[in-house]
Amino acid sequence: MASLGKDYKDGEIIVRQGEAGNCMFVIQKGEVEAVAESDGRELRLRTMGVNDFFGEMALFEQATRTATVRALGPARVLTIDKKNFLGGIHEDPSLAFRIVQTMSHRIRDLTDRLATFEEHCEPESPE
């Protein structure tokens, strides 16, 4: 029986920051990590597991990928293009709410992390 999705080996890149994107991904097996690259350094944004998704911003805007995502151990990932995504929302409108809810949670998490980072980087005031 053929399975949907593509298998990735440990460390294999699924999407690369800066690439054009036109689909999202759902993790069917294993774990992946999302990292942002800047000035030759990597910042781990999050790890994700079975039933988590990533790359959804590519369905809403014409922009490049904001992070690199790679497998943490063996993983299977399903690709969903815009047409299939819209069909899924037509069949189950609550899917759109879950996507927006997850995106909102990620924005809040990154905002909190940025605020914490800025607190640690504040220069000490001279006395």
**φ, ψ (nearest 5 deg) of residue 73:** 85, 180
The CATH number linked to 30 is 2.60.120.10
User: What pLDDT digit, counting tens, does each position of 13-33 carry?
Assistant: 999 999 999 999 999 999 999
- Give percent of the chain above pLDDT 70: 93
User: What pLDDT digit, counting tens, does each position of 75-96 carry?
Assistant: 999 999 989 988 988 899 888 8
Distances (CA, A) of 35 to 47, 54, 122: 9, 12, 24
pLDDT-derived band of residue 1, with 50, 70 and 90 as boundaries? very low
What pTM did the predictor assign?
A: 0.78
Count: domains in the chain: 1
Residue 20, in any domain of the structure: yes
Task: Supply 9's token pair.
Answer: 């080996």
User: What pLDDT digit, counting tens, does each position of 97-124 carry?
Assistant: 888 898 888 888 888 877 887 777 766 6
> Are 79 and 6 within 8 A, CB to CB?
yes
- Which residues pair with residue 47 across a beta bridge? 33
Residue 125, in any domain of the structure: no
